[in-house]
Amino acid sequence: MLWSAGSNGSGFGDLRVTTLHLLRHAKSSWKTPGLDDHDRPLNRRGRHAAQALGLHLQRLALVPDVVLCSTAVRARQTLDLLTPAIKPARIVLEFELYEADAAGLLAYLRKLSDAMACVLLIGHNPALHELALLLAETASSGTLPRAEDKFPTAALASLAFEGGWRALQPHSAAVVGYIEPRQLMAPEP
């Protein structure tokens, strides 16, 4: 279950809590041989998973201050299926998020405005999984897949930490939620 303080994870009293949701894009199609990786669309299973995740996030009343999304087609299509459910205040599409490794993603996040208390980042593996493991407090990292395991498509890791984005450091965030699409979806016929 995702943690929330209010509907956006903005904190309590003088304590500022910032929430980061890391979402790997939904399952993509490999039907078109030779198609550039950046241009691969979602497949049917991926669309179904993104819709199920959108309904889950809507039930939780998650409304991010901003959605940061890779420009890859599969990431943008995942976002398109979530947008009606989460109604983000702002969407930023960044090619940099397509190519970034975990260190690059962390550097990108540390530049965000502290006015953004709740951020959803839609990106790719292995960078997202590595970032989640890098940020997670050692005690709470057991809820995430281990480094040698898979961070599945459409998996969502939610982390919370005290302070603004410049305070985000390795092992500074508590894992407050982790969910995989198989936990939300009925098996397809």
Q: Any bridge partners for residue 94, and if so which?
A: 70
The residue ranges of every structural domain in the chain are 11-183
143 compared with 48, residue with greater pLDDT = 48
What is the CATH architecture of 11-183?
Answer: 3-Layer(aba) Sandwich (3.40)
pLDDT, tens digit, for every residue of 49-89? 999 999 999 999 999 999 999 999 999 999 999 999 999 99
CA proximity to 162, closest of 10, 17, 6:
17
The mean per-residue pLDDT over the stretch 99-121 comes to 97
119-128, 144-153, 156-165, 170-179 — which is least confidently predicted?
144-153
CA-based end-to-end distance of the chain: 27
Residue with tokens 């493991």: 133
Q: What is the pTM of this model?
A: 0.88
